Amino acid sequence: MRWIVLLAALAMPVVSWFSQSGAFGPTNGAISDRYPTLLVAAGYAFAIWGVIFLWDVIFGLWQLRRRRPDLPGVRGWAAAGFALTAAWMPVFSNQWFLPALAIIWAALVCLLVAAVRAAPTDATGGQRAWAAYPLALHAGWLTMAAFLNTAQVIVAYQWLPTADMFGWSVVLLALATVLAWAMNQRLRGHFAYPAAVVWALVGVYVKQSGWRLPGADTVSVLALAVATLLVLQTLLLRTRAWRHPTVPVVAAHRHRR
């Protein structure tokens, strides 16, 4: 399984390079322009994939030499999440929107589980830096990307009104907020997960500010408000963790005794 994790991590940047070169069809940006939504982020925001891929590959290399009993519960979910992320790219480029939607949501579930399992309260510094953080960053970006993809599928198939997308876009943004808030709480606010979500939300703010779609200005303000609330939640969670850094470890020690 250790080698499968590494190979899946390496597959993502390789497939991404082919995808962005047009080998599978139109690029993600070109398809996004065909189906504009109120939840799409500015183009620069997607550069975070470079950081995600690099950190995931580093995780893949790091875990090769790790045999701690907690990592086997992470590897399978991480490998599946990486493989699904890689698979999403050619599927989306071919505009097979329903399979792509299923794939990105499945990838999100896998990365959320992997991030939680890689981030126990007594994790070592190395495990946090090379496992918990890269998986959480990936999960954080996918949290918003899954809802963005959902919005694009709605527009592509015209399941909901496309002339005025404000109402259902706000519902999707609210659902994304609830998921991000709950996951951030579960991870006790360590920086990687909320950083990716906030990065995406700021990208939405930049893209939607002054854009031509009805309701874009309002959605931009809402996205910035959600980002601000997530930052405040993270600061609160980290403050609590700093004040009580040893409680979970002490409790576990007493339980073993």
CA separation (Å) from 247 to 17, 242, 244, 255?
45, 11, 6, 12
- Give first-to-last CA distance, the chain, whole Å: 33
Q: Which of 133, 130, 131, 141 is nearest to 107 (CA)?
A: 141
Query: How far is it, in rounded angstroms, from Cα 257 to Cα 254?
Result: 5
What b-and-e string marks burial along 47-64, b requiring 16 or more CB atoms within 10 Å of the CB? Answer: ebbebbbebbbebbebbe
Residue pair 143/181 in contact by the 8 Å Cβ criterion: no
pLDDT at 22: 87
Show Cβ contacts of residue 43 under 8 Å, excluding neighbours closer than 6 positions. 29
CA separation (Å) from 43 to 1, 53, 57?
35, 17, 24
Query: How far is it, in rounded angstroms, from Cα 137 to Cα 52?
Result: 7
pTM: 0.90
Q: What would the two tokens of residue 210 be?
A: 């002054």
Q: What is the pLDDT along the chain (257 residues), one digit of tens a residue?
A: 889 999 999 999 999 999 988 899 898 889 988 999 999 999 999 999 999 999 999 999 998 887 665 576 899 999 999 999 999 999 999 999 999 999 999 999 999 999 999 886 545 556 778 889 999 999 999 999 999 999 999 999 999 999 999 999 999 999 999 999 999 999 987 899 999 999 999 999 999 998 889 999 999 999 999 999 999 999 999 888 777 664 444 334 334 44
Sign of CA dihedral 26, 27, 33, 38: positive
